[in-house]
Amino acid sequence: MEAAMDLMRRMPPTQVDTALSSLLLLLPQYSSELLSRVDQPLQVAWDAECLKHYLLCDYNRDGDSYRSPWSCKYFPSLEDGAQPSDQLRKLEVEANEIFAIYRDHRYYEGGISSVYLWEPEIGGGFAACFLIKKDGSEDGQGRRGLLQHGLWDAIHVLEVGEEDEGLAHYRLTSTVMLSFTTKDAPSVSFSLSGSITREMQADLSVAEGHLTNMGRMIEEMEGKLRNGLDQVYFGKTKEVVFTLREPLGSLTATSATGQSLQQVVMDDILRK
């Protein structure tokens, strides 16, 4: 199983699907563990009743059907599909509405979002997952026409503990999967893809409600992840390229020009 996870860390992120499918075929006995541990881009389904798209994950699945957060119905339809309690469903509806505004009008200018709530099997409290999928490709919802292809998938899973003296414990695990291809120069193709996962915990007062707390944590986390991707990951890959091939005539300690200059200076000093 660890060998399988090692493979997933090395395969090109754009081929996550093929890699995962292959592993499931080779290791059928580990399929549930693989499906829960490996991050995959989110799949989209259509809610025929509310006429809206919704996102699929393990938490809204029952058998082969998936529950829509809008109509709360399963597609393909299911007789006795698992449903959240009335109280949770109320919070779920609110969460979906607010998250849609956060997504559409603030940060993502489009995209699809879904929020699912459930009660964990052990322990009190509840859990929630907030999902966002944004397609920024030219023929997707990219407004500026800069990306030939661009996908952002965010998966935030929150575990909320029971209320204790006005406070609750929140644990957030977030993964962002990103892939895009730019089309700057006609003969040059440039494509970056990958994923990054982080965790965050906090004890917060429930005075303003769970939704406010969860929302703020997610907003902060998304900002951190976006910056992380920007600086660390893209900065790092750029570093790799420029250590492979240095710009000619560059004056650094290790470049050829730098080395020969050092040599000249040393020779001068020694001669004196």
Segment 226 to 245, residues that bind other proteins, using CB under 8 A: 226, 229-230, 233-234, 236-245
Window contacting other proteins (CB under 8 A); options: 117-125, 161-169, 213-221, 262-270: 213-221
Of 53, 88, 96, 195, the residue at the interface with other proteins (CB under 8 A) is 195
Residue 230 beta carbon to other proteins: minimum distance, rounded to whole angstroms: 6
- List residues bridging with 102 in a β-sheet: none
Q: Nearest distance from residue 26's CB to other proteins, in Å?
A: 5
Q: How far is the CB of 168 from other proteins (least distance, A)?
A: 15
Contact pattern from residue 106 through residue 145 relative to other proteins, giving x for each residue in contact according to CB under 8 A and a dash for the rest: xxxx------------------------x-xx----xxx-
Query: Which residues within the stretch 35-74 sit at the binding site for other proteins (CB under 8 A)?
Result: 35, 41, 43, 61, 63-64
Ramachandran region, residue 94 (left: φ > 0; alpha: ψ -120 to 50; beta: rest): alpha
- List Cβ<8 Å contacts ≥24 apart for 38-45: 38/5, 38/8, 39/155, 39/175, 39/177, 39/195, 39/197, 40/16, 40/177, 41/16, 41/17, 41/133, 41/151, 41/153, 41/177, 41/179, 42/131, 42/133, 42/153, 42/155, 44/112, 44/133, 45/75
Among 60, 131, 179, 221, binds other proteins (CB under 8 A): 179
Cβ(144)–Cβ(162) below 8 Å: no
Q: Which stretch binds other proteins (CB under 8 A): 27-35, 83-91, 155-163, 165-173?
A: 27-35
- Closest approach, Cβ 239 to other proteins, in A, equals 8
User: Site residues for other proteins, window 80-109 (CB under 8 A)?
Assistant: 94, 97-98, 101-102, 105-109
Which run of H or E residues covers position 43? strand 43-47
205 binds other proteins (CB under 8 A): no
Convert 122-142 to b/e letters by CB count within 10 Å (16 or more is b): eeebbbbbbbbbbbbbeeeeb
- 3-state SS, 151-185, equals EEEEEEEEEECCCECCEEEEEEEEEEEEEEEECCC
Q: Which of 77, 79, 121, 187 lies at the binding interface for other proteins (CB under 8 A)?
A: 187
Total residues at the site for other proteins (CB under 8 A)?
Answer: 103
Contacting residue, 46, 87, 162, 197, with other proteins by CB under 8 A: 197
